[in-house]
Structure 1
Amino acid sequence: MPNQPIDPAKDQLLDAILPYVAFDGWSASAFDAAVAEVGIAPAHAKTLCPRGAVDLAIAYHKRGDLGMIKALADADLRDMRFRDKVAHAVGLRIAAVDDKEAVRRGSTLFAMPHMAADGAKLIWGTADAIWDALGDTSRDGNWYSKRLILSGVYSSTVLYWLGDDSLDGQATTAFIERRIDDVMQFEKVKASVNKNPLLKPITGPLGRLMSQIKAPSKIPQVDLPGMCKDPE
């Protein structure tokens, strides 16, 4: 799960690989260079990272989630509207990135067809971490819809941010605000539809169906529907 600390030895490898990622991407050659730099036995490195650089790319994303969770815990959100809390959390997740090129290379990696499931799982994990940190208590179908919508907001924000060269990332901040406003408009429309008596024959059964859908139990690495627990 995103709020679990990264193995210290893997953390060392992650720090070591980042300078190589800028040139070679999250590749086997970058992984081998990191292993050599840290001085760890290749067999042990393979145990820590069975998929090599891919596992370190995943660890880098999760490190960002941890940074966001800590920053959000330290932030004073008392006077914020809830939509502003969500926007602030997305902004903190972007701010937790200390190597933009590593994210750019990671986006390329996880856009590959055979890596798409891993990429989706990471984005879902970030959305889940944000909602959990903000105190979400939904356990029905809303649990899924909230994370699905926020996953779309976060993934589109990352792509926008990668091309943002504005001062202090002001354009990205404005982009986040627009996306959150879009989500809020959707929620308003959904609420008005649910209250419309003419649509009750449709919204009634649908609402009962959504209430019967249950959120998954918090078992490590099983938060994304259809994904199995990763091996330790």
Structure 2
Amino acid sequence: MVAENALHSAQDAVIEAALAHVPFDGWSDATLKAALADSGVDAALAGALFPRGPLDLALAYHRRGDARMVAALAAMEMQGMRFRDRVAAAVMARLDLVEDKELVRRGTTFFALPQNAAEGAKAIWGTADAIWTALGDQSEDANWYSKRATLSAIYSATVLFWLGDDSEDHAETRAFLDRRIDNLMQVEKFKAAFRENPLGKVLLKGPLRVLDHIRAPRRPDDLPGSLKETA
């Protein structure tokens, strides 16, 4: 545990040092090399901290933002908010935590590269999953996937709009996000109506019954270090 904490601290130190270099050199080998030097972290640890070099550096920065968003959401008072407003607040909380838009702009370019696109998509999915989990989503069927897929699309579109938004307090981004969530709510209403429609009931009991067998992924409870209840 001590060694793990030391590695985490070293990784965070390199990420912090990298933030000053990314606007100029992007998420690159040059940035990683400079960040290691500035942070005082032994360059020999680079392979353990960031096995794939700048790709893992960029992903670590993204995951750190997700973790900070989850902490921010836990401190928010959302009891009186409509659920759609909670989703919007979560997305904006994630964006508000960005230190410099150029970090995300460079990241968008970096993850647009063919060799990085799959990892970029997984990172966005991870953000959507973090938001739904923080908001208390308990779906265990196909809805688990559809919610995250839809929010991933909304989040990606909102980020691109936000990058070009210079309105006060990102008011235009908030309005854009509200419109996207309105679209999502219309889809959800359609799905609810479809389930109650006679044709929908037939399809859900027939060809679409395969959806009943789709389950959300579960984390194995027998991994090393996990706690299991004992009788």
> What's the TM-score once normalised by structure 2's chain length?
0.89
Unmatched 5+ stretches in structure 1: 221-232
Structure 2, unaligned stretches of length 5 or more? 222-231
> Using a 3 Å threshold, how does the CA distance of structure 1 residues 87 and 205 change in structure 2: closer, same or farther?
farther
**Partner of 1:154: helix, strand, or coil?**
helix
Deviation, 1:206, is 5.1
Distance 1:63 1:8 in 2: 12
**How many angstroms does 1:157 deviate by?**
0.6
Greater Rg over alpha carbons, structure: 2
Give the counterpart letter for 1:30 in structure 2: T
Match of 2:90, as an amino acid? A
Pair 1:42 & 2:35 matched: no
How far 1:219 sits from its partner (Å)? 5.7
State yes or no: 1:52 paired with 2:53. Answer: yes
Please report how far the alpha carbon of residue 207 of structure 1 lies from its aligned counterpart in structure 2 after TM superposition.
5.2
**1:83 matched to which residue of 2?**
84
CA distance in 2, matches of 1:56, 1:65: 14
Q: CA deviation at 1:205?
A: 2.8
Conserved? CA contact 2:203–2:209, under 8 Å: no
Q: Identity of aligned pairs, percent?
A: 54
Distance 1:12 1:102 in 2: 16
Q: CA deviation at 1:209?
A: 2.0
**1:7 alignment partner, SS class:** helix
TM-superposed deviation, 1:45: 1.8
Higher relative contact order (Cα pairs below 8 Å, separated by 6+ residues): 1
CA distance in 1: counterparts of 2:10 and 2:206, whole angstroms: 52
| Alignment partner, residue 65 of structure 1 | 66
Normalising to structure 1: TM-score of the pair?
0.88
Q: Does 1:135 align with 2:144?
A: no
Q: How many residues align?
A: 216
Q: What residue is the counterpart of 1:33 in the other structure?
A: 34
Q: 1:117 to 1:9 in 2, by over 3 A?
A: same
Deviation (angstroms), 1:120: 0.8
Q: 4+ runs of 1 displaced by more than 3 Å?
A: none
